[in-house]
Structure 1
Amino acid sequence: MPDSAENIHLYTVSEITRAVKELLELNMPAIWVQGELSGFVHHSSGHFYFSLKDKDAQIACVMWRSRTLGLTFTPQNGMKINVFGSVRVYEKRGAYQLDVIRMAPAGIGDLQLMYEALKEKLYKEGLFDVSRKKLLPEFPERIGIVTSLTGAAIRDILQVLNRRFPAVVKILRPTLVQGEGAAEDIARAIQDFNDYQNVDVLIIGRGGGSLQDLWAFNEEKVARAIFSSTIPTISAVGHEIDYTISDFVADRRAPTPSAAAELVVPVASDLKKTIHRLHRRCRTSLPTHITLRREKLARLQKSYAFRRPLDLILEYKQGIDDRFHLIQMSAHHSLSKNREKLSACDKRIKAAHPRTILQRGYAIVSKDRTHKIVRNAAELEQNEKLNVYLGKGSFTSTAETIREDDSFACSAAGTEKR
């Protein structure tokens, strides 16, 4: 280390990885990526793990189980696909990957091409810029709603608003939400509310449907009307897996109309309880609690877990999948080794069997009279009758010439097969 090491800040691996994670995830928006699917694994947990590649590079991808349920096709290696997702850093490995939200086969039609072209155009113009988005009011008194008068969306929104905060004023501007003239009607409704001005926030949306059903919310005139609104806007189109141009332009996106209603107002009863509890605590220990809350808030603001709780949960899930895979591999390896040992033992046992030895050309000789095994020529008598057992079959023989040396030259006579 140099002499001035005391002036050098030494980073830990965790600090560097976390800095890279925040740099990528906070500055790079969700994107569409096209490539060839490879290394596809449908894990027992329901998650998809795979890579997207082209001729020059590849990127690891993960698609969580809750997002795979709406797929209308079965992913296969070698398939060319389009995926929509965000770049994430998996800190345990120090590797980046694509957190996939949607997946579709490449070349799904003209509407998708139009969608992507308009999205790219508006993105370049800055309509999706986070710095230009307005904050939602914490306690709105009047809420404007742009949706169909007869659809399920308005019923869901009103039901949630009335349950959570009945006192809030709801103002509906009925519109067409699909078909010819729907985009013009939605854009005009947004402008009407901006001319009226007596609302605190706008909910713009409809229930779920196909890409064609939701297309009005992908029209440029609707996107520009939302962007030009001086009233904070919430886009609530379709279901959680549905993403429209309106979602990217609006100040906030809600996955469903019901979620938009939950997002825009607190629960009144909870708010009253909180106010009463805080009032009592303020009267008894205001100075101490102010100090404690300031310290706790400072810690929470610096806490990574507070800023990225979902990321930690997803990383733990992926870690569990990794450990499960390692356990499986270890079990398969151990089983394979035990099978090899068993096979080797079986071969040794078979090789040591007397019949196996006899089949290699050896024989067992016993005296016919006593059945005693002959191990030494000195045990034999001239013309003594012998039984000879081979690898297959046996015969009788007579000891005519007896030699007690180690020579193998011998002759047999008087054999009789049996």
Structure 2
Amino acid sequence: MDLLDDIPDSTPGLPVLTVSELNRMARRALESQLPLLWVEGEVSNFMRAASGHWYFSLKDASAQVRCVMFRGRNQFADFTPANGDHVEIRALPSLYEARGEFQLGAEAIRRAGAGRLYETFLKLKAKLDAEGLFDPVKKRALPRFPRVLGIVTSPQAAALHDVLTALSRRMPGLPVILYPTPVQGAGAGAQIAAAIRTAGARAECDVLLVCRGGGSLEDLWAFNGEAVVRAIAASPMPVVSGVGHETDFTLADFAADLRAPTPTAAAELASPARQELLQQLGHLARQLQHHLANRQHSEMQRLDYLARRLVHPAEQLRRRQTDLHQLAQRLRQASGTRLTTEHLRIARLNQRLVTPIHVIQREQQRLDALNMRARRAVQGGFGQRQLNLARLASSLDHLNPEGVLARGYSIVQLENGAVVQNAAALDAGDKIDIRFHRGQARAKVESTTQD
């Protein structure tokens, strides 16, 4: 006897699943029960596939988990992780059905600690903003032609070389004063703030550049210090912030009077372009020369015109006497012409003058003519209306039922008053009313005949 025959079947209705069905159910259960979350750990076994997807493990001292970050997600990452990097990933727990392996589907990745630093950054930013240190109204305009430029940065920083290169290209003769300070590491924030305060106390420059090259959030953290922000806000001269790259933002950027995306851009914003100024100067010189030439030509023409108008007083007196004589002749001619015109107008008015009796006769003739036209109109309209009335009376007689009855016809009605038009509507024994031209009679139907 087989030993399995002795084992009772306690679940006779339990279905049998395939491995694929089991893994699919496990994946759905995981994804429905575990939400999207942040996981911290050390990267190991990192591999970039030909498809662009990232495959790696995330581990700590006692456990590890497989992770995948597809190309559509990792293309937005700020860096490519390497084995040994301590990172934080935002991921959705799931199950890879083909191998039955538990894994994390990463949607975002950042260096470990960056989230906490960013949270600290936001809190400090809100606090300082509430105090008005970032108020745009307080921002000052940079001088167009600074006499001296101050730079707060490290002497060994690449940012200093970029700034000096840009200044030598744009304005080689502009004096520069360096206020050296570390820009990274422990205590760098306090030293940067001290350098800014030193520049303000010495008052040696017109514009102050606070700059350093790009880096991670940790590398730029010194420029997020409260002391640095307050020193920039209290600076007596305008401050230009050129920290990091175009995508990097620090609290020093918000406190500065002007934020530049790079140290080179900060130097370009704070200094005038010598070549552009020379071009503008040359353009203005050409405009001035052209204006002077036009003015000289205009004044020479005006001088010639005045010279032609210059006349001897005796000649002017003779011309005035001639003009006076001509005006006297025109006055005499105008007086004679006006007198003749008035005589003619009076004669025309005398001809048009009519006595009242003539007016009355003319109006009487007009009234008689209107009276005659009125009588003719009344007579013609009365005759036409009589003819219309006769035609309407004749039509009314033709349509009058009494006239039809007078010619020997009659109207047959049922007891309810309905007019009988067809013998089929009557049955033997029905009572009917017959209306004649003179009076009416009641009858009883004995029989009917159809046409």
TM-score (norm 1): 0.44
Q: Which has the higher helix share?
A: 2
